[in-house]
């Protein structure tokens, strides 16, 4: 029997750091964190994003994150701390597991995504 996306997300969550909005805010305030918004441009335009986040749609993540890729972006450092987020946490859980597969050691995701961030009263912006 094949697995569902729900199964894949549950498996990913069991292998990654699932961070609350407060934990993400503290990490960002402390500095040295690359915060990555995995949502599509239309979602970002409509809902805004977390201030300081790097915009990297999920479909390009592996290309941006792999230092050997011609699309690699300097913001992505396998030795650095990376926290991913999406709308509600599914895509970011899968993406965090993917970055681990690419050799990233300190990677987590915002459990509950931007929705959890907003529900916690945290700020968003339409500029990045």
Q: Is residue 61 part of a domain?
A: yes
Domain residue limits at 12: 5-119
Q: Is residue 19 part of a domain?
A: yes
- Residue 34 contacts residue 82 (beta carbons within 8 Å): yes
Q: Is residue 72 part of a domain?
A: yes
Residue with tokens 């699309």: 71
Q: Is residue 127 part of a domain?
A: no
Instruction: State yes or no: pLDDT of 69 exceeds 90.
Output: yes
Q: Is residue 14 part of a domain?
A: yes
What separation in angstroms does the CA of 109 have from each of 10, 11, 59, 69, 90? 13, 14, 17, 23, 10
Model pLDDT, residue 128 = 66
Q: Mean pLDDT, the chain, as a whole number?
A: 95
Number of domains in the chain: 1
- Residue 50 contacts residue 128 (beta carbons within 8 Å): no
Q: Is residue 96 part of a domain?
A: yes
User: Model-level pTM?
Assistant: 0.94
| Confidence bin at 127 (pLDDT 50/70/90) | confident
The predicted-structure confidence for 28-48, as pLDDT tens digits, reads as follows 999 999 999 999 999 999 999
In the predicted model, what is the mean pLDDT of residues 70-87? 96
Helix axes 5-13, 90-101, angle to 10 degrees: 60
The predicted-structure confidence for 10-24, as pLDDT tens digits, reads as follows 999 999 999 999 999
Where residue 112 sits, what CATH number does that domain have?
Answer: 3.40.250.10
The predicted-structure confidence for 103-123, as pLDDT tens digits, reads as follows 999 999 999 999 999 999 999
Q: Is residue 128 part of a domain?
A: no
Q: Is residue 60 part of a domain?
A: yes
């Amino acid at each position: 029997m094949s697995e569902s996306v729900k199964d894949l997300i549950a498996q990913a969550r069991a292998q990654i750091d699932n961070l609350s909005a407060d934990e993400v805010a503290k990490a960002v305030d402390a500095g040295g964190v690359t915060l990555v918004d995995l949502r599509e441009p239309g979602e970002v335009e409509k809902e805004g994003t977390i201030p300081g986040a790097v915009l990297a749609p999920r479909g390009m993540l592996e290309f941006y994150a792999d230092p050997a890729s011609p699309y690699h972006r300097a913001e992505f450092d396998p030795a650095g701390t990376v926290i991913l987020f999406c709308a509600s946490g599914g895509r970011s859980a899968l993406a965090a597991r993917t970055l681990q597969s690419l050799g990233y050691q300190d990677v987590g995701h915002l459990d509950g995504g931007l929705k959890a961030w907003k529900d916690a009263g945290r700020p968003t912006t339409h500029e990045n």
